[in-house]
């Protein structure tokens, strides 16, 4: 893997981008080194504890009729994701609410670390009163209507721009499951470019375009839902075909 300087804490903090534009790309793991090779001059790597590539475990919440997923499928704005995210190497857990309107806004509440291991126990994801109030404050669908519906795990490399106010993440070793099924997509990498404002001039976007990797609209939550649950998926067909090409 390309060698990157380690980002100092103050640079990481300045690239938090809790309000941002999110852009997603799907690529094969064999392409990752080629993408990273030309980025070391413009980006630093954000270390997670003692490692550069961090392990994440996430539990997503939705209603019994999958209202949050359906809003994504229909392209409605604003739309929301509600999730518990375990930063395993940092030993931190956050309850997060992501709101997507013209841009993405993420709010989060730190909770005691409860990383649960390879196949996450969603039955152990009960929320206390403070967590439920947090959801009620930030999501129009109240906590009393939400329940854990699936888990997603992955390994992430995070790059932060040295001078560009941008963050890029590359996720691989992607696996997901629900109460009865699980699946792994070991050949797939999901890249996300997080920008303060939409711009096509960044080195990551250029590196992906040189490999003819196009921007997609498929999140890990929607990908897992489509592959695990009997839901309508016509809106995601172009991105799902891209996934099939990558993992073939």
On the question of pLDDT at 122 being above 80, the answer is no
Instruction: Write the CB contacts of 131 (distance below 8 Å, at least 6 apart in sequence).
Output: 95, 109, 111, 143
> What confidence category does residue 63 fall into, taking pLDDT thresholds of 50, 70 and 90?
very high
pLDDT digits (tens, 9 = 90+) for 139-157: 999 999 999 999 999 999 9
pLDDT digits (tens, 9 = 90+) for 217-242: 889 999 999 999 999 999 999 999 99
Q: H or E element: which one contains 167? A: strand 166-177
Mean pLDDT of 124-153: 93
Instruction: Write the CB contacts of 170 (distance below 8 Å, at least 6 apart in sequence).
Output: 32, 35, 36, 156, 157, 159, 189, 190, 191
CA distances from 210 to 44, 204, 242 (A): 21, 10, 17
> What confidence category does residue 170 fall into, taking pLDDT thresholds of 50, 70 and 90?
very high
Domains in the chain, CATH or no CATH each: 9-247 (2.40.320.10)
Mean pLDDT of 107-114: 94
User: What percentage of the chain carries pLDDT values higher than 70?
Assistant: 97
pLDDT digits (tens, 9 = 90+) for 2-19: 899 999 999 999 999 988
> What confidence category does residue 114 fall into, taking pLDDT thresholds of 50, 70 and 90?
confident
Question: What is the model's pLDDT at position 119?
Answer: 54
User: What percentage of the chain carries pLDDT values higher than 90?
Assistant: 85
């Amino acid at each position: 893997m390309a060698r990157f300087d380690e980002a100092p804490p103050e640079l990481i903090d300045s690239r938090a981008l809790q309000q941002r534009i999110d852009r997603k790309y799907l690529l094969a793991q064999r392409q990752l080194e080629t993408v990273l090779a030309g980025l070391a001059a413009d980006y630093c790597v954000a270390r997670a504890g003692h490692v550069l590539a961090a392990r994440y475990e996430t539990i997503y919440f939705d209603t019994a009729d999958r209202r949050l997923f359906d809003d994504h499928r229909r392209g409605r704005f604003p739309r929301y994701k509600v999730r518990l995210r375990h930063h395993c190497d940092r030993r931190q857990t956050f309850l997060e609410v992501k709101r997507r309107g013209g841009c993405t806004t993420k709010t989060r509440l730190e909770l005691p670390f409860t990383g649960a291991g390879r196949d996450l126990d969603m039955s152990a994801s009960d929320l206390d009163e403070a967590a439920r109030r947090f959801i009620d404050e930030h999501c129009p669908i109240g906590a009393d209507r939400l329940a854990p519906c699936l888990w997603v795990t992955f390994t992430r490399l995070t790059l932060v721009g040295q001078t560009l106010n941008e963050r890029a993440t590359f996720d691989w070793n992607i696996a997901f499951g629900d109460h009865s099924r699980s699946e792994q997509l070991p050949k797939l990498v999901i890249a996300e470019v997080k920008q303060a404002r939409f711009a096509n001039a960044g080195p990551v976007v250029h590196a992906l375009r040189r490999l003819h990797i196009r921007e997609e609209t498929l999140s890990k939550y929607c990908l897992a839902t489509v592959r695990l649950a009997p839901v309508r998926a016509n809106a995601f067909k172009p991105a799902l075909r891209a996934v099939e090409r990558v993992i073939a």
